[in-house]
Chains A and B, each alone.
Chain A
Amino acid sequence: MLIKRRSFTKGLGLGLAAGALPLLGRTASASDFKAGYIYVGPIGDHGWSYQHDQGRLAADKALGITSTYVEKVPEGADAERVIRELAETGHGIIFTTSFGFMDPTLKVARDYPEVKFEHATGYKRADNLATYNIRFYEARYIQGVIAGRMSKSGVVGYIGSIPIPEVIMGMNAFILGMRSVNPQGRIKQVFINSWYDPGKEADAAKALLDQGADIIAQHTDSPAPLQVAEERGLKGFGQASDMIKFAPNAQLTSAVDFWDGYYTERTKAAMEGTWQSHDVWGGLKSGMLHMAPYLNMPDDVKQMAMAAEADIRDGKLTIFKGPINAQDGSPKVAAGETLDDGAIAGMDWLAEGVEGDLPN
């Protein structure tokens, strides 16, 4: 899936020679094509926005262009203005990298049919508005498998941000993975009501460990929970990037968001005029999701994790496949039944083994 890093001009020359390209409009050469990105957080958050910016830089380097980014864009009324501004100033493709940018992106996309828009994690599309996301839950299943073998207490502490399907499907995938090796495994969860507050993330991690968990999993952005696990000599999983530097003895693995290839490929398509709207939800197989090296675990656990990873990648293992019980033990997904992407994307129930409540 990853394109080789090569001179774009060369590729374009070949394309033109072959007559394969439709009219390029103003995107005549690599250097004057502009890609725009908007981030909800600062690129210095070392989490969600930081990883997107890493992807942007990789795409720029691969394609020989300089792109524009706007950071800390509020998801409310300001987003529409910033996106419009990018469209207005000659950006050929615009990536809006947070869920809350969905409606503003759609509004602006309607007014600029010649500009290509890409919205991360949303579900509204148009001819010039594609959506893309990562199947983070695949990584969570593997983490669950590891936790099932590594946890002595059989209790994993799970730090959630805000109870949205993304977070819920992650918890459920985790417990399914965990119970595939330890049927008694449990998740205790805490929501900190924020994506990013290192101090609170650390507090939540401590509370969960005090409540009997011996492994920490997190769906928040900072390495703070892993640092707590490191300090207490326990284990945990990283989020968004490889956080091994922060917890050399505690991080078992990490789900790494890897946007590099996607951004390169889509920007290239926009430059060459081959861009088409789509809905991509890429997992391990697509290269958008990487597992950081499996460390701090016995070899047999590592083998097991790698096997699970390979099976998910090859499609041999389907994570949300029945029988799956809901939190109260009632059957939720019948044996032999598989949840489709729609059911996964809107997940609003907790699986058996996850403790705690969801608001409704």
Chain B
Amino acid sequence: MVRGWPMHLEIVARGERSKLWTYLSPVLAIVLTLVTAAILFLLLGKDPMTALKVMWLDPLLTKRGFAELFVKGAPLVLIAVGLALGFRANVWNIGAEGQFIMGAIFASGVALAFHDVTAWPVWLAMIPAGILGGAFWGAIPAFLKLRFNANEILTSLMLTYVATLILLYLVVGPWKDPEGYGFPQSRMFGDSANSPRVIPGTRIHVGVFAALAVVGIGWFVLSKSLLGFKLKVLGHAPRAAAYAGFSTGQLTWLSLLVGGGLAGLAGMFEVAGPIGQLTPALPTGYGFTAIIVAFLGRLHPVGVLFGGLVLALSYLGGEKAQILLGLPAAVTKINQGILLFYLLACDLFIRYRLRLVVPGRKAA
């Protein structure tokens, strides 16, 4: 404790987590973000009210825009639910991006092998293929960790680069579209390999519902099952795996297979839905952004859903701001960063409160 400071604020631990602040802290964060962003816009010579409306409200005002929120958020949520499980178990999979790519590659393999088959089972078969691809890529760090004690932070990250290069090799080499004039992408999948669109006039596809279902399952597992109970124990006392009845091996396999599988599933939905072919442009950083989403959601599936949607909104709003306000992408990135800073910082109030300390007066 620093003594002799003038009047200042002190952070004091609460006895237990504040229920109220669990819900209030994101609200406070959003208010702070809006105020900060308004000042930033003022400095950039834009009308702050208009700018805020464009960035945070406009994307939600049309049916299509609202749908896009879910299209953009779905892969983030799918991946983050899996990652949250792993992070609770202290397994640091930061290579979800690579697992996402491998899921897409495996699923594309199925789609390309049966591209002249018009029956819907092609699409169905792509689902397990995607999960398998992601889980396979997640299994490698798990194996290396258990067999060679190799830290999964490094192996999963390095494998992301390897997956990117495999993807590139496939689309410039063996899987290149024979009718594609030599461009680096696979042929377009047949209609049978595309996720059914659910709501006409939007890009909402089955993957969006899969993400919601995974959130539901995740919530059920976490709050109603023994596994969930054990994971919660782990969350409170990170090194207590043994007491919770887990071996490191089980936790590592579980985390990386589930995390990888869900990332792979997200990759499958991305190629089978909005993109419709395998291209080198597939990786756009979902796997990394999902790490933020997992923590924004406080490693809870329902929280992850909200975290994913908030981040998706920040991307959509960023595009709007570029189009309608002429702001460069840099400003939208800065805004996104500020939003995340506030969201993360305001969680402080769940476990702590502020106390005003006035020198000379005894603190209560």
Contacts and interface: CB of A to CB of B under 8 A. Distances in A.
Q: Is there a direct interface between A and B, measured as CB atoms under 8 Å apart in the complex?
A: yes
Interface of A: 36, 42-43, 66, 68-78, 80-82, 84-86, 89, 99-100, 103, 123, 162-165, 168, 193, 345-348, 359-360
Contacts of A164: 172, 182-184
Interface stretch (B11-19, B128-136, B140-148, B278-286): B278-286
A103 B284 CA distance: 17
B345 interface: no
Contacts of A74: 281, 284
29 contacts: A42-B330, A43-B328, A66-B326, A69-B322, A71-B322, A71-B328, A72-B329, A73-B319, A76-B284, A77-B273, A77-B274, A77-B275, A81-B71, A81-B72, A81-B316, A82-B323, A89-B324, A100-B279, A103-B188, A103-B277, A123-B181, A163-B172, A163-B184, A164-B184, A165-B182, A193-B168, A346-B182, A347-B182, A359-B173
Contacts of B277: 103
Given A72-B329, A74-B284, A76-B270, A345 B279 contact: no
Taking each of B183, B277, B324, which has the highest tally of chain A beta carbons within 10 Å of its own beta carbon?
B183
A43 B71 CA distance: 27
B209 interface: no
Contact of A76 (B172, B274, B330): B274
A76 B203 contact: no
B323 A76 contact: no
Nearest 7 pairs of A and B residues by beta carbon: A75-B281, A77-B274, A359-B173, A165-B182, A346-B181, A74-B284, A70-B322
B329 A71 contact: yes
Contact of A100 (B172, B188, B281, B323): B281
Given A68-B326, A164-B172, A193-B168, A76 B282 contact: yes
Interface string B160-178: 0000010011001110000
B300 interface: no
Contacts of A168: 182
A193 B165 contact: yes
Given A85-B323, A193-B168, A165 B181 contact: yes
A86 B184 contact: no
Contacts, number: 94
B319 A162 contact: no
Given A72-B329, A103-B276, A77 B319 contact: no
B68 A99 contact: no
Contacts of A82: 319, 323
Interface in B145-202: 165, 168-169, 172-174, 181-185, 188
Interface residues of B, number: 39
Given A85-B320, A360-B173, 20 more contacts: A68-B322, A68-B323, A69-B322, A74-B281, A76-B282, A76-B284, A77-B274, A77-B275, A78-B315, A81-B203, A86-B323, A100-B185, A100-B280, A103-B276, A162-B172, A164-B172, A193-B165, A193-B168, A346-B182, A348-B182
Contacts of A193: 165, 168
A193 to B, nearest CB: 6
A354 B277 CA distance: 32
Contacts of A165: 181-183
Contacts of A42: 329-330
Nearest to B277: A103
A164 B275 CA distance: 20
Contacts of B72: 77-78, 81
A71 B182 CA distance: 26
